[in-house]
Copies of this chain bind each other. A is one copy, B any other.
Amino acid sequence: MSATYGTTVRVTIFGESHGKGIGLVLDGVPAGTPVDEGFIRSEMARRAPGQNLLSTQRKETDAFIIESGVFEGRAEGTPICVLIPNSDQHSKDYSLLKDNMRPGHADYAGRVKYGGFHDYRGGGHFSGRLTAPLVWAGALAKQVLAAEGIVVGAHIARLARVEDRPFAPLGETAEILASLRTQVLPTLDPAAAPRMEAAILAAREGLDSVGGVVEVLALGLPAGLGDPFFDSLESRLSHALFSVPAVKGVEFGDGFGLADLRGSEANDAMHYEDGVVKTLTNHNGGITGGITNGMPVLFRVAVKPTASIARPQHTVNVAERRDTILTIQGRHDPCIVPRAVPVLEAVTAWTLWDVLLRDRKGEGL
C-alpha cells in the first residue's frame, strides 16, 4: 500500500517502466481548480529523458491523457486519472536482468519482497520513470500555489563535487527562481553549470555515473502550516522526498551543519519588519516545531549516483544462487540529478498544497 500519499489531496501512482503505461489518480482536488495542460506539459518536459547527452537516450515524450476528473479545463472535484503511455521500450535489453541483480538497485530487495512475481524489465514499478506522474501532480500544485503567491524553486547545489552557491537563506527573487526553470543544469552561479556538465560527460565517458545535492526553496508560505510531532512539515516533506528513487538524505535549514553550532548561533533572532514577524537569520529553514514560521522554507536533498552503470560489476545470480559479473546493457542516465530537480520541486509542491488545504479546513467553525 505504498502507492498513495496525502491527506487532503491524495496522490496514487501506478505503472511499470515496460508495461502499457504509467499514471496517477489525484483525489481531493477542489472543484473549479484550473488545469493548464500547457504548463503541465512544460513541467513534464523538464523531466523527460532523451533530450541531450546528459540523460538516458530513451525517448519518451511523456504525453499524457486525462481520463477523468477534468471538465472544460477545470477540476471537477472528482478523482483525476492521468495516463502516460509507454512508447519507447526496448524490453529485450532487460532479459539478462531477470536473475542477475544490479548492485545499488532495488532488484534484490524487490525480488525478496515480491517473491519474484514483479515485472523486472527496466526496474518495473521501481523505475525512475514513475516520477513522471509525480511531476504531473506537482505541476497542478504549482499552479494553485502560484495563485496564492507561493513559489517553489530548486537548483543543483552540488554535483560531482562541483558546488553552486547556496540559496540566500532569507530568500531569492521570483526572477531568479524563474530563470532556474529554463536551465538544463539549473544553477545560481553561471560558472557552475558548465563544470557540472563536464563532470557528467566525463562520467558517461568512463561508463560511470555521478550524484549530487538539490536545494529546494519555497517562498510565500504563511506562518502556521504544519503540526507538532507526527505531521510536522519536516516529517511530511521528508516522507514524500524519500519516496523519490535515489534520494538518501534530507536536511532542513542548516541541517547537519546545525549539529556544529551553539544555540546562540543557531537560534534565529526575531524582530518586526513592517509589522510582520521575521527572523534575522534562517538556520531553521523556515520551520520550527514542525510548523512554518513565515520565513522561506529551505532544504537540501542528497541524490546518489545512478545505480545503472555500464561497467562490469560483481553481483549475484539468484536463480543459480552463485556469484557473477554483470555488465548492464541498455540506455541509462549518467547523472539523475538534473532530472531530479523538477521531480523534487513537484513533490514539494503537492505536499505543501496538501498541507495548505488541510490547515485551512474548519477555520470558519
A5, A225, A227 — which one has the most chain B CB atoms within 10 A of its CB? A227
Complex alpha-carbon distance, A304 and B162, angstroms: 27
Q: Mark A256-277, 1 if CB is under 8 A from B, else 0.
A: 1011111111111111100101
Give chain B residues whose Cβ lies under 8 Å from the Cβ of A263: 104, 203, 208-211, 305-309
* Given A104-B268, A275-B321: A303 and B20 interface contact (C-beta under 8 Å): no
Q: Is B360 a contact of A365 with CB atoms below 8 Å?
A: yes
Complex alpha-carbon distance, A158 and B112, angstroms: 35
Complex alpha-carbon distance, A365 and B210, angstroms: 40
Complex alpha-carbon distance, A306 and B261, angstroms: 10
Q: Is A266 a contact of B305 with CB atoms below 8 Å?
A: yes
A21 interfacial contact with B, CB 8 Å: yes
Residues of A10-42 contacting chain B, CB below 8 A: 10-16, 19-23, 25, 27-28, 30-33
Q: Is A272 a contact of B67 with CB atoms below 8 Å?
A: no
Complex alpha-carbon distance, A309 and B13, angstroms: 39
Complex alpha-carbon distance, A228 and B242, angstroms: 10
Complex alpha-carbon distance, A124 and B362, angstroms: 23
Q: Is A78 a contact of B118 with CB atoms below 8 Å?
A: yes
* Given A67-B14, A113-B77, A291-B109: A304 and B3 interface contact (C-beta under 8 Å): no
Q: Is B71 a contact of A262 with CB atoms below 8 Å?
A: no
Give chain B residues whose Cβ lies under 8 Å from the Cβ of A148: 365
Q: Is A16 a contact of B68 with CB atoms below 8 Å?
A: yes
Residues of A279-329 contacting chain B, CB below 8 A: 279-280, 283-285, 287-294, 300, 302-309, 311, 313-316, 318, 321-323
Grouping DSSP codes into helix (H, G, I), strand (E, B) and loop, the A interface class, with mixed when no group exceeds half, is mixed
Give chain B residues whose Cβ lies under 8 Å from the Cβ of A358: 361-362
Partner-contacting stretch, out of A171-179, A182-190, A231-239:
A231-239
Complex alpha-carbon distance, A74 and B118, angstroms: 9
* Given A76-B114, A256-B249: A262 and B65 interface contact (C-beta under 8 Å): no
A180 interfacial contact with B, CB 8 Å: no
Complex alpha-carbon distance, A79 and B11, angstroms: 13
* Given A305-B266, A314-B280, A316-B272: A28 and B14 interface contact (C-beta under 8 Å): no
Q: Is A76 a contact of B2 with CB atoms below 8 Å?
A: no
With beta carbons under 8 angstroms apart, the residue of B67, B203, B283 that contacts A15 is B67
Q: Mark A114-155, 1 if CB is under 8 A from B, else 0.
A: 110111000011100010000000000000100110000000
Give chain B residues whose Cβ lies under 8 Å from the Cβ of A109: 223-224, 226, 287-293
Q: Is A242 a contact of B232 with CB atoms below 8 Å?
A: yes
Shortest Cβ gap from A110 to chain B (Å): 6
Q: Is A314 a contact of B271 with CB atoms below 8 Å?
A: yes
Q: What is the chain B residue whose CB lies nearest that of A76?
A: B118
Give chain B residues whose Cβ lies under 8 Å from the Cβ of A283: 104, 304
List 5 additional A-B contacts (Cβ < 8 Å) besides A206-B262, A232-B242.
A106-B291, A126-B228, A210-B262, A251-B302, A358-B361
Q: List 21 A-B contacts (CB under 8 A).
A: A3-B10, A3-B78, A16-B68, A68-B125, A76-B114, A78-B124, A79-B125, A103-B268, A109-B288, A110-B228, A110-B291, A113-B226, A148-B365, A232-B242, A234-B247, A234-B248, A256-B256, A263-B308, A264-B311, A266-B304, A288-B307
